[in-house]
């Protein structure tokens, strides 16, 4: 990509963002640089929509304002507070990450990529996001929104995860890394979504490779890191898992009630299989009467 085009693209994105950002500035993690708060928010955002994550963020942070308070709490309490955000295993991972931060980093979220990635549940995206948004380091962050923009506007082709990161690194505005990462994310979220609103996009006039080439065969489809449609929730195992965890928050579940509580009174073997999965994941435990309870 010619240097002049790259410069024009950066300028167009940043000047669009200067006003567009107001639409997402209310998100509570936008106003903090606290690494623990940023870590919690990024673990949430990995699989939960921003609106839903925002409402739970304050609750989690006021109960666990730093890693040490979460590390001290029983894991079941974190699971209970997480409930409703989906993919509850993230609560277990976050709890384990808090313990590791206390044991190995004196209670302070580390500021190195390798140390962050050694925390359970923290992958490349989350580690980079913490470095960029909390520590304001010049690292490029590729989430599902950025991956779409890179595939369409910059490469005009499907991208592997590795190539998307290479493009993101090349484009990074080093002296404004935090703003640049947020701007690209917001562009992907507000305009360049699964159904792009090109007519409102600052890159529409000759700065988007895919658009300039006539918008055929969307390269964002099938690019690594772009979100795929989730399977139906209703009637899924995930729904049964959610019901069991929710019930365990209220109190112990007797074995005889398992199928009914899971929502499958006609299919006790399915309820049993799903309960075994929750036990294996550490989201539920058994008490001395063999009932299912929250762990810890």
Quote the DSSP letter at residue 230.
Answer: P
Can you name the residues that pair with 286 across neighbouring β-strands?
292
Which of 32, 52, 158, 204 is the binder for ligand SF4 (CB under 6 A)? 204
Is residue 198 close enough to count as binding ligand SF4 by CB under 6 A? yes
Is residue 9 close enough to count as binding ligand SF4 by CB under 6 A? no
Cα–Cα distance between 162 and 195 in angstroms, integer? 24
Using the contact rule CB under 6 A, the part of the chain among 158-166, 178-186, 207-215, 258-266 near ligand SF4 is 207-215
Task: Name the catalytic one among 42, 204, 250, 260.
Answer: 42
Cα–Cα distance between 12 and 296 in angstroms, integer? 52
Identify which of residues 125 and 210 has a Cβ nearer to ligand SF4 in the complex. Answer: 210
Give just the sign of the alpha carbon dihedral 46, 151, 182, 132: positive
Cα–Cα distance between 276 and 105 in angstroms, integer? 34
Contact 247, 261 (CB under 8 A): yes
Using the contact rule CB under 6 A, the part of the chain among 8-16, 58-66, 192-200, 288-296 near ligand SF4 is 192-200
Which of 81, 127, 132, 192 is the binder for ligand SF4 (CB under 6 A)? 192
Using the contact rule CB under 6 A, the part of the chain among 125-133, 173-181, 191-199, 281-289 near ligand SF4 is 191-199
Cα–Cα distance between 14 and 269 in angstroms, integer? 55
Is 42 annotated in the active site?
yes
What is the nearest approach in angstroms of ligand SF4 to the Cβ of residue 30?
A: 22
Quote the DSSP letter at residue 155.
Answer: I
What is the nearest approach in angstroms of ligand SF4 to the Cβ of residue 157?
A: 13
Residue list 139-178, contact with ligand SF4 (CB under 6 A): 149, 152-153
Can you name the residues that pair with 285 across neighbouring β-strands?
293
Contact 193, 221 (CB under 8 A): no
Is residue 191 close enough to count as binding ligand SF4 by CB under 6 A? yes
Rg of the chain's alpha carbons, rounded to an integer? Answer: 21
User: How many residues bind to ligand SF4 according to rule CB under 6 A?
Assistant: 14
Site track 210-239 with ligand SF4 (rule: CB under 6 A), x = hit: xx----------------------------
What is the nearest approach in angstroms of ligand SF4 to the Cβ of residue 187?
A: 7
Which of 35, 67, 86, 196 is the binder for ligand SF4 (CB under 6 A)? 196
Cα–Cα distance between 12 and 202 in angstroms, integer? 6
Identify which of residues 70 and 190 has a Cβ nearer to ligand SF4 in the complex. Answer: 190
For 60-112, the DSSP string reads HHHH-SSHHHHHHS-HHHHHHHHTTSS-THHHHHHHHHHHHHHHHHTTS---S
What is the nearest approach in angstroms of ligand SF4 to the Cβ of residue 284?
A: 43
**Side-chain half-sphere CA neighbours of 206 within 13 A:** 4
Is residue 102 close enough to count as binding ligand SF4 by CB under 6 A? no
Chain residues in the site for ligand SF4 (CB under 6 A):
149, 152-153, 191-192, 196-198, 201, 203-204, 208, 210-211
- Catalytically active residues are 42
């Amino acid at each position: 990509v010619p240097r002049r085009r790259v410069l024009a693209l950066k300028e167009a994105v940043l000047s669009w963002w200067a006003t567009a950002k107001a639409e997402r500035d209310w998100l509570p993690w936008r106003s903090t640089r606290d690494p623990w708060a940023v870590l919690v928010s990024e673990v949430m955002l990995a699989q939960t929509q921003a609106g839903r994550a925002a409402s739970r963020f304050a609750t989690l942070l006021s109960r666990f304002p730093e890693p040490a308070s979460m590390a001290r709490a029983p894991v079941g309490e974190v699971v209970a507070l997480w409930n409703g955000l989906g993919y509850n295993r993230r609560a277990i991972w976050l709890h384990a990450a808090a313990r590791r931060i206390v044991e190995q980093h004196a209670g302070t979220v580390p500021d190195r990529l390798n140390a962050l990635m050694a925390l359970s549940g923290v992958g490349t995206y989350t580690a980079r996001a913490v470095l960029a948004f909390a520590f304001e380091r010049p690292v490029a962050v590729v989430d599902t929104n950025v991956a779409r923009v890179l595939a369409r506007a910059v490469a005009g082709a499907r991208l592997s995860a590795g190539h998307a990161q290479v493009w993101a690194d090349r484009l990074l505005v080093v002296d404004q890394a935090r703003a640049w990462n947020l701007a690209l994310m917001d562009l992907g979220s507000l305009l360049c979504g699964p159904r792009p609103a090109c007519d409102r996009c600052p890159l529409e006039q000759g700065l988007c490779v895919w658009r300039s080439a006539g918008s055929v065969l969307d390269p964002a489809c099938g690019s690594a890191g772009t979100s795929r449609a989730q399977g139906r929730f209703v009637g899924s195992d995930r729904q049964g898992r959610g019901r069991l965890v929710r019930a365990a928050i209220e109190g112990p579940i007797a074995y005889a009630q398992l199928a009914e509580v899971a929502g499958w009174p006609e299919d006790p073997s399915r309820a049993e299989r799903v309960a075994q999965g929750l036990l294996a994941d550490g989201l539920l435990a058994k008490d001395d009467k063999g009932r299912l309870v929250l762990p810890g």
